[in-house]
Amino acid sequence: MIEKKKKPEFKRQEWYKKKSLGTKWRKPRGIHSKLRRKMKCKGRMPDPGYRSPKSIRGLNRFGYKEILIRNVNDLKKINPEKEVGVIARTVGNKKRMEILKSAREHNIKIVN
């Protein structure tokens, strides 16, 4: 999808110095913080300008909305033209095979 562009990784300030900080985002609050002052070389901060257009927000890269499936009855809620199924990770192998068989009969795409 052309409208959905890749966004930069928003990493925590000085994430490369200490392993304990991790790469999760935290807003920089220091008065001398170069990242807070948006200096060019210090990385990017999340900003409203990075948001996706409303028409494609929440869609996967192929343009489908992903619906979580926990049982065979959840397949009835899916519209095959606009949505795809994602089988929940807690579903066992036996029920997974039933879901896949039922999805094949109703022409529903399963992503995972």
Nearest Cα neighbor of 42 from 84, 80, 10 is: 10
For 49-87, write each residue's pLDDT tens digit.
888 888 888 898 888 999 999 999 999 999 999 999 999
**Site of tokens 């869609």:** 59
Q: What is the pTM of this model?
A: 0.67
pLDDT for 18: 92
Q: How far apart are CA 70 and CA 104, in angstroms?
A: 16
- pLDDT at residue 4 is higher than 80: no
Q: Rounded to whole angstroms, how far apart are CA atoms 82 and 69?
A: 15
Question: Is-contact 29 38, C-beta < 8 A?
Answer: no
DSSP H or E segment with residue 15? none
Kind and range of the H or E element at 97?
Answer: helix 93-105
